[in-house]
Amino acid sequence: MPTTIEVDLKRSFPRKFVPQDADMGDWAQVEPLFSRLLGRHPSCPEELEQWLADYSELCAALREEGNKRHIAMTTQTDDPVREASFQQFVEEIIPRYKPRMQAAEKAYLENANRKRLPTQRYAVLDRKLANSVALFRNENVPLETQDELLGKDYHKLMGAMTVTVNGAEVTLQQAAKFLEQPDRSLRQQVWERMAARRLQDKEALEQIYDRLVALRTEMAAHAGFANYRDYAFRQRERFDYTAEDCFRFHDGIERAVMPLARKIRARRQHLLKLDRLRPWDLNVDPLNRAPLAPFSTTAEFVQGIRKIFARVHPSFGEQFQFMADQELLDLENRKGKAPGGYQTSLEERRLPFIFMNAVGRDHDLRTLIHEGGHAFHALAARDEPLVDYRHAPIEFCEVASMGMELLALPHLGEFYKNPEDYRRASHTRFEDLVLLLPAIALGDAFQHWVYTHPVHTHEVRATAWVDLVNRFNAGVDWSGYEEQRAFQWHAILHFFEVPFYYIDYGIAQLGALQVWLRSRRNYREAVEQYWNALTLGGSRPLPELFAAAGARFQFDHEILKPLMDAVEEELERTAD
């Protein structure tokens, strides 16, 4: 099937239902639009489709307003006006429109004409909305707020932690940089201090987690579920895989990934000339080389990345250039900018926006190529009228981004003229990719255990964690640091703030690897299939999105083994 990879970047999407000048930050102007929609009662399939389009337009306008304010705030955090504007939207607008959206979705589901709409077109939307209505419980609303507040307590506790390094007080994130230093005794000292600092707040962290587990278990019971795990799967819209599939994934990782993970760690130990690998030996370059420095100015960065995208396909180069021209990129680190990186959408304009903090490191290339994959996904689906269908499930969104990281690999020479640098960048990517899988299995298996055994003591919980650490340990010697190992999970914010949000990346990685494997056989065809799948947005179920990209929606030993064999081959090819 021949595909043209192109996007009408000039196309605009003027408002039809929402008044041109309506201010989405003013509830007095938003409320009447919901009232009009809810008072309409569409009386034939055509009217119902028009109603959906209008509702979608309103949702897009609201989301764009929120996203615009979020972008404004994160690009300049020291401006109190921007912060207040975002806060106002979060506190005054979102809590008001959420129940109205819930009511609108219920009205759609209950409309007699819904069953007369084309099934193929609306099946995914109907399933999603029916699920959200079925899960909703009024008595869970205050519990969700408590859950969020506990997440904030966790954040506060972790954010306040500092240690002293070389006489200066630094945050744990700043301290973590020293784990990349060649001086081994400094690394050990910093690692020990970080672990000791977290253990100081051990009891408080354990209690926050106890309360979260109890709260979540209660919410699940309200909605009629036997445990929070089963509830969370429905809440995360995991319609196409089960807990059993996740267990098979863990087993597959144990059998197909662990041997390679151990080989990677053994090589590190050998290169570092150590008799055993300790927890503070994992982040330093094994040959003690200075970090790669692929660019020094933002202009160089943007031009280089544009060339890489253009080599994946000329259209990606054009799309990226368009983003640069339209000021849809905020890339360089500067004072007053929020940390981290993200890709978000301007929903009404149907355009992506990329935010990051580049400082000239290899990691920046990975971030921008990754977020670029998300941006192309947004552009690919921009002609889709339903806002819900312009976004895929997370398990496939990350195929778009991680897939692009792998498709871009052969072209990294745009930054690394020297073959040794190129091999090093490429090798590190595959090593990280392999080592991430056991970490995902560990985190996922732990949460399955916690929420299916909601009544447990701290000691039993620590034992459950340690058993899993041992199962997925790739040659790190923890002896003498048993307590640190038992509570190491306190540092993983997902467990506290976004439960069960972990395995999604593993599932996506397998999709991305399958795209990459195809690209080694026929690059152009693989890129075209990848694009085909992106254009579907979220309009089809996960297995179909994967199939469109030329990948199987499967995550067990059978699929992992050949992927790991190909990665191993690549690791050997790029070893120094």
Contact set with Zn ion (CB under 5 A): 401
The residue number whose beta carbon is nearest to Zn ion equals 401
Tell me the closest approach of the beta carbon of residue 400 to Zn ion, in angstroms.
Answer: 8
Residue with tokens 């990051």: 356
Tell me the closest approach of the beta carbon of residue 352 to Zn ion, in angstroms.
Answer: 12
Q: Residue 401 or 426: which CB sits closer to Zn ion? A: 401
Q: Residue 315 or 401: which CB sits closer to Zn ion? A: 401
- For residues 417 and 72, give the distance between their C-alpha atoms in angstroms, rounded to a whole number: 37
The type of residue at 48 is L
Tell me the closest approach of the beta carbon of residue 364 to Zn ion, in angstroms.
Answer: 15
Contact 257, 434 (CB under 8 A): yes
Identify the burial level of 499 via C-beta atoms within 10 angstroms of its C-beta, where 0-12 means exposed, 13-18 middle and 19 or more buried.
buried
What phi, psi does 118 have (nearest 5°)? -60, 120
The type of residue at 33 is L
Angle at 514 between CA 315 and CA 553, to 5 degrees: 110
- For residues 383 and 363, give the distance between their C-alpha atoms in angstroms, rounded to a whole number: 33
Tell me the closest approach of the beta carbon of residue 398 to Zn ion, in angstroms.
Answer: 5
What angle do helix axes 394-408 and 362-380 make, rounded to 10 degrees? 130
Contact 164, 156 (CB under 8 A): no
Residue with tokens 């999709």: 511
- For residues 247 and 235, give the distance between their C-alpha atoms in angstroms, rounded to a whole number: 19
Q: Residue 235 or 401: which CB sits closer to Zn ion? A: 401
Q: Residue 140 or 401: which CB sits closer to Zn ion? A: 401
Q: Residue 401 or 554: which CB sits closer to Zn ion? A: 401
Tell me the closest approach of the beta carbon of residue 408 to Zn ion, in angstroms.
Answer: 14
Q: Residue 396 or 465: which CB sits closer to Zn ion? A: 396
In terms of DSSP bridges, do strands 329-332 and 351-358 run parallel, antiparallel, or are they unpaired?
Answer: parallel
Tell me the closest approach of the beta carbon of residue 396 to Zn ion, in angstroms.
Answer: 11
Q: Residue 326 in 3-state DSSP?
A: coil
Q: Residue 117 or 503: which CB sits closer to Zn ion? A: 503
- For residues 393 and 22, give the distance between their C-alpha atoms in angstroms, rounded to a whole number: 30
Tell me the closest approach of the beta carbon of residue 385 to Zn ion, in angstroms.
Answer: 25
